[in-house]
Amino acid sequence: QLLAEDEPDVGDLLVDVSLFAAPSVNDCITVMSKSSSANQKGIVGVYVGSTGTGFVPAALGEYATGGLDAKSEFVLKPEYADMYDTYRCIGINAIGEGKLNVCGQGGDIEIGDLICASDMAGKGMKQADDLYHSYTVAKARQAVTFSSPDEVVQIACIYVSG
């Protein structure tokens, strides 16, 4: 979930901020925001879009009961009924292949370079070394030459954490 006012671009890095609900060992819903500092730990994935207000996460929903002929609808549990007043549910990519937004703060990127968070909100950058760290996010699948440290492009990658 994202705070309603925190609007990332598709491809931005997201980090956990707090736990929203954890009703079982299989279901943990967190509040996320864009990454905000170089080498930031806690990156959980790459923003792919909002699921909309009609989406009911399995961890926060239940089947409504009706009469014998009524179809059971999956709805938000009463304690989460006002969730969309403050939060919105989103989709993220983590582990596997895809794309992410990177900037030139760490320099030009070559195929195989490791990517970590930069100081630009939500943007990755070339990691300073080739060792996997707790803050390593991805491995570049394409090269890019930046015209400035603030230039942002979306590149193909393999997500290595999330």
Is the model more confident about 16 or about 2? 16
Instruction: For 132-161, write each residue's pLDDT tens digit.
Output: 999 999 999 999 999 999 999 999 999 998
Question: And the tokens for 68?
Answer: 């014998």
Distance, in Å, from the CA atom of 86 to the CA atom of 133, rounded to the nearest integer, reads 33
Measured CA angle at 150 (ends 146, 152), to 5 deg? 65
Question: Would you say how long the chain is, in residues?
Answer: 162
Give the three-state DSSP class for 85. helix
Say yes or no to pLDDT of 66 above 80: no
Q: Which residues of 35-66 are buried (b: 16+ CB within 10 A; e: fewer)?
A: beebbbeebbbbbbeeeeeeebbebbeeeeee
Distance, in Å, from the CA atom of 115 to the CA atom of 143, rounded to the nearest integer, reads 12
What is the Cα 21 distance to its own chain's centre? 17
Say yes or no to pLDDT of 67 above 60: no
DSSP string for 115-160: EEE-SSTT-EEE-SSSS--TT--EEESS-B--SSTT-EEEEEEEE-
Question: And the tokens for 133?
Answer: 């760290």
| Mean of all residue pLDDT scores within the chain | 90
